[in-house]
Amino acid sequence: MQSKDSHYTSNIDQCRLIALARHHHDNGNLSVVENNNELPFEIERVYYLYDIPGGEERGGHSHRECYEFITAVSGSFDIEIDDGKAKKTITLNRSNIGLLVIPGIWRVLNNFSSGSVCLVIASQRYNEADYVREYKEFKELTAGKQ
C-alpha cells in the first residue's frame, strides 16, 4: 500500500486493469470479488453510480489513502487518470474488467452511455479528509514529482 505521501510517489502506470474471472453458465455469467483475493485490498465500501445525465462528469478528485476498483457493470464510460505529470484515458465497457486506481491519482469519469452503471469497490469507508477535491491543491501536492 502507498504511504500518506501518495500524491508525491504515485503514477498512472501503477493503476491497472484487473479482469475478474467470468464463470459462464447457459443462464448467464457470474463474476466474484472477495476480500484480499481478486483485489489487493480489503473491501470496506461499495457504491454505484447510475442515471447519470448525458454530458455529466463524476469523480473530479483524488484520494490520499483509499484504493478503488472501478468497473462498468452496465454500459460504458471513460476514466481519465492523472498523476500530476502524465494523463491517460481508459474506457470501461465490460462487466468483468475494472480499473484499480491507487491513492494519489486524480480521476474524472465521463462519457457515460445511456443506462450505464458504475460500480466502485473501495479500501476505506467514506472519509471526507481522505479526498483532495480541488485540482489546484492536487497539482501542488504533485509538484515535486520527477
Which residues are catalytically annotated?
Answer: 61
| Angstrom distance (rounded) from CA 47 to CA 26 | 29
| Angstrom distance (rounded) from CA 94 to CA 85 | 28
Q: Comparing C-alpha atoms, which of 17, 4, 10, 3 is closest to residue 106?
A: 10
Q: Comparing C-alpha atoms, which of 50, 111, 106, 100 is closest to residue 76?
A: 111
Taking CA atoms, 29 is separated from 23, 46, 61, 95, 117, in Å, by: 6, 21, 33, 10, 17
Q: ∠ CA(95), CA(132), CA(20), 5° rounding?
A: 15
Quick one: which H or E segment has residue 88? strand 87-92
